[in-house]
Structure 1
Amino acid sequence: MTENDDQALLKKIQAEINELLKDELLQDLSSNPDKEELNALIAVEKGQAYHITVQRDPLPPIYIVVRQSSTVKDIKHLIRLEVERMDKQGTKKISWKYIWHAYCLMFEHQRLLDDKVVVSQLGMKQHSVLRFSRLAHQKGQHRKARHY
């Protein structure tokens, strides 16, 4: 095979993939899905994972796929990956250490403070909604101000 044959074959395969992605059953796939995204969507179809929405008022929501065996820590990692994927230019630098120190996730008016809790134990189901909640410090528990 020559290089021209390889390029023609590559264009043909890409055209077939694009045609498949137009099918209404595959509408929830991104234009360039990776292996993890495909495995997650297969798990959703088998009932082993959930579509979850993370509300970030006033910012647009984040949509993630979470397996039933995932923990709160895994959800936080998925949120981080999705936010980084949404901000492809990488112009903004987000301090995730600060975010998780100042905020926590909330599900049905219950704060998810323990990172080791499994999603299925929390009662999450398909299309559940998580929200960010500001963590209030107990009296006298504030960190000292930093002086530079």
Structure 2
Amino acid sequence: MEEPSEEVPGEHNAKEGEEMSRMSDMTPAVAYGDEEDVETLTHADILDIFEEGLARLVQDPLLCDLPIQVTLEEINSQIALEYGQAMTVKVLKADGEIMPIVVVQDASVLDLKKAIRRFVTLKQQREGGMRHISWRYVWRSYNLVFQGEKLEDDRVRLKDYGIRNRDEVTFMKRLRKK
């Protein structure tokens, strides 16, 4: 009967030593002590490299309809759409513009409102016009309406209102009560 070997911290057995030597063969050829071999990149250079890689990434057929300055959240939303874990709700503004808003399948009205806020904020950043929007005012002054029914309760799921993928929700001005 073999006795279990006790491992002393800091000491390596023969198998670990072989494994470590194999791993050291996989390390980059650049020695960290040799400053002349290390290539230094500026922040701008790294950003350029990253944006080139990102541009190649969004050429993928799955992600081709995303903007060049895509965010991680937009990529994850697009992937969730492809896997059927999310849906697109078309939000129609009074000026006729349609905003394609991506939310998860079991999203609530509040989730839709937050997604609209993120969409508008990203759109403003990309267009360069960064003005402040009071979302408290927006939700106090406008309702989201689906087939004549106001989406007033933020806790109710969109599916409970009958909203499915690619359905259209409208911004409608609230009537003032006198």
CA distance in 1 between partners of 2:142 and 2:106 (Å): 23
Kept after mapping to 1: 8 A contact 2:94/2:172: no
1:70 CA drift (Å): 1.4
Q: Which position in structure 1 is the counterpart of 2:155?
A: 116
1:91 CA drift (Å): 4.5
Gaps (5+ residues) in structure 1? 143-148
Q: Which position in structure 2 is the counterpart of 1:56?
A: 93
Assess, with a 3 A threshold, how the Cα gap between structure 1 residues 135 and 29 changes in structure 2: closer, same or farther. Answer: same
Please show how residues 1-148 of structure 1 align to structure 2 within 5 Å.
1-4=38-41, 11=48, 14-58=51-95, 60-88=97-125, 89-137=128-176, 141-142=177-178
Assess, with a 3 A threshold, how the Cα gap between structure 1 residues 135 and 79 changes in structure 2: closer, same or farther. Answer: same
CA distance in 2 between partners of 1:132 and 1:73 (Å): 15
Aligned pair count? 139
**Residue identity opposite 2:85 in structure 1:** Q
Larger Rg: 2
Q: Compute the TM-score of the two structures, normalised by the length of structure 2.
A: 0.66
CA distance in 2 between partners of 1:6 and 1:134 (Å): 46
Cα-to-partner distance string for 1:19-45 (whole Å, 9 max, x where unaligned) = 232233322222132222222112111
CA RMSD of superposed structures (Å): 2.6
Structure 1 window deviating more from structure 2 (88-97 vs 57-66): it is 88-97
Q: Compute the TM-score of the two structures, normalised by the length of structure 1.
A: 0.78
Q: Which position in structure 1 is the counterpart of 2:12?
A: none
% identity of equivalent residues: 30
Runs of 4+ off more than 6 Å: 5-10
